[in-house]
Structure 1
Amino acid sequence: MEKMMAESQNAVLKEIEKATKDMMTNLDTEVGIMCARMENIEQKMSEKETKKKSFDPDVSLIVVGLPHLEGEDLMAKVKDLLHIGLGCDTALCPAAVERVRARGNRPGPKVELSSALEKVAVLRRKSELKDNDSFKDVYVSSAKSHAERMMELNFRTLIRETAVGRDFYMAANGRMVKRTQVPRRATREGSSADGGDA
């Protein structure tokens, strides 16, 4: 009887030991999978933060209207824009380019240059794009930080809501500019610009 009880006890202990071992193995596997997932998520978040931080608004530009093609060499397209479209020195080379999400049908990249001086040089020549058939629909503007964009958006909203808001607009450089007024009344016979033939 004692022998049977001892054997039963040993069998139960072995079963418990085996079940515990299986549970620990399964738990280790699950923990390993969870750790791998967490590392993957952390890496993706880190890459996104690095991408966002890599474009400093002080030395970056936004290009609008540069067509998007599948398998394109974006760096080469931006170099063509700078050297052919704007006539910049061939020594001027972007530090980084990234295609950003297009708003409507106006695709374009974000371009980071090496210095603020290069950025200023490009912005001073941006009006030359309209004279180049290949780039006449492309527009270049200064990149802005998130805080600057939000301030500008809020300011535009406030101006629109004021009584004189329709008389002003915000230029690309952030200045408020009074709209040039066209006389409201002018006679067909060629009356004066003040609109009166009294």
Structure 2
Amino acid sequence: MRSAKIQRSTKETQISLELNLDGSGEASVQTGIGFLDHMLISFARHGLFDLTLSAKGDLEVDQHHLVEDAGICLGEAFSQALGDKRGISRAGSFVFAYPMDETLSCVALDFGGRALLNFDACFKREFIGELQSDLVREFFAGFVQGAKCNLHIRNLYDGNDHHKCEGIFKGFAKALSQAVSVSKNSEGKIPSTKGVI
């Protein structure tokens, strides 16, 4: 089973995360930030990942530490669950048009061992629900750091901030699902000409 358990405990956050890459989209998420919970539950459902996440942090300071650390832990979980990445497709891309019609997000990623984020999305409001909108980027920066992957996110059409953010998370889920899928043609090989990722 391709799964992982991550524990992170610092003076700023305490996070416990369990991930199953070959799940059915079941999720239990409690971060103390309702909109972030909603995004991660949606992410699990659309990627068909089983995710359990419990996170507590110094929200009295602000949300930055908790959101970034949640991203780091999720990235570390994917890295751990994939191991040496033998047999996976490695890269994934997905253009997701949110069914509310006005937004379109493009997400592409590569588990090539190099951490890089290119994030091109702007939000009009300071908060989306309870989530500070500038921290959406920080979540994905944390993920990239933990997963050691190359991730590109672009919002193509403007619209409602909730719709934009949800389209990004759903597109991210679909791209990840594609990238971690086992390639039938790879015969268990590491997907790199170097022989290692």
- The interval holding the TM-score normalised by the smaller chain is under 0.3
| Richer in strand (by share) | 2
Please tell me whether Structure 1 or Structure 2 has the larger radius of gyration of its CA atoms. 1
Q: TM-score of the superposition, structure 2-length normalised?
A: 0.24
| Richer in helix (by share) | 1
Greater RCO, 1 or 2 (C-alpha within 8 Å, sep 6+): 2
Q: TM-score of the superposition, structure 1-length normalised?
A: 0.24
